[in-house]
Each structure stands twice: as structure tokens, then as C-alpha cells.
Amino acid sequence: MKKFLEEFKEFAIGGNLIDMAVGVIVGGAFNKIVGSLVADIFTPALGLIFGSQMNFTELTIGGENGILIGNFINAVITFILTALCLFSVIKAINAAKRKMAKPEEPAEEPAPAEPSDEVKLLTEIKELLANKK
């Protein structure tokens, strides 16, 4: 039991729990942004495209007291639009990370200096000796 409490203390005080708490808070705020984007921008835009309100809340199967299929359809549409929005945001963030992580291209190396007269002469001698063998 003591080991369990020590592990929990390390978890609670360590960075993992704090990172997770910050992630939940930021995620909640981000959820509001995405929800507004879907409800206030995407859904009305789709309504203009398809000529309807994109609100299926009143749609039922089996009459007035039947299955509320409309709520399910609204939830599926919201899920798809939310997933599309998140995919786009994550794709943009990953592209920005790749661009930031890309190392700068090194400058072109200067052309090698012309060899000195001594080096040229030694190279000629070396070639002559190699040709004699």
C-alpha cells in the first residue's frame, strides 16, 4: 500500500497530472471554439448550399411519439463537421511544425582554391611515375 501511495504522489505532483489538467482545460476551451465554428459557420453554410436549415430535430420514425431519428442525424452531422474541422486544424499545425523544424540550407561552399605550383608539379611527377609502371 505504501508503494501505491508513493506512486500516486509522484503521479499527482509530477508533470503528468498537471500536463493532463492543462490539456483538459485547453481542450474544453478549444471544444467551444470548434462547436461555434460548426454550429455558427459550417452548418448554416451547408444549409445555404442544400437549401434547408440542416436541423432534423423534429424528424421521427413512427409518428409523434416514435423514435427521434432527427437528433441522431444532427449528432452525426455535428460529429462529421467537428472531425473535419479538427483534422484541418491538426493538419495545419503539423505543417507549421514541419516548416519550423526544417533546417536551413547551408550556404554554398566556396570553390576550392587553385593548387600551388609545387602541388601541380608534384601531381605531374606522380602521374609520370604511375604511367611508367
pTM: 0.48
Q: How many CB atoms lie within 10 A of CB 38?
A: 20
Per-residue pLDDT tens digits for 76-106? 877 887 788 778 888 998 898 888 887 666 6
pLDDT at 33 over 70: yes
In the numeric block, the cell 462529421 is attached to: 80
pLDDT at 133 over 70: no
The rounded distance, in Å, linking the Cα atoms of 84 and 46 is 14
If one compares 54 and 57, the residue with the highest pLDDT of the two is 57
Percentage, residues of the chain above pLDDT 70: 89
* Residue-level pLDDT at 107: 66
Task: Return the axis-axis angle of helices 2-13 and 15-36, rounded to nearest 10°.
Answer: 50
> Which domains occur in the chain, in start order?
2-132 (1.10.1200)
Cα–Cα distance between 84 and 41 in angstroms, integer? 13
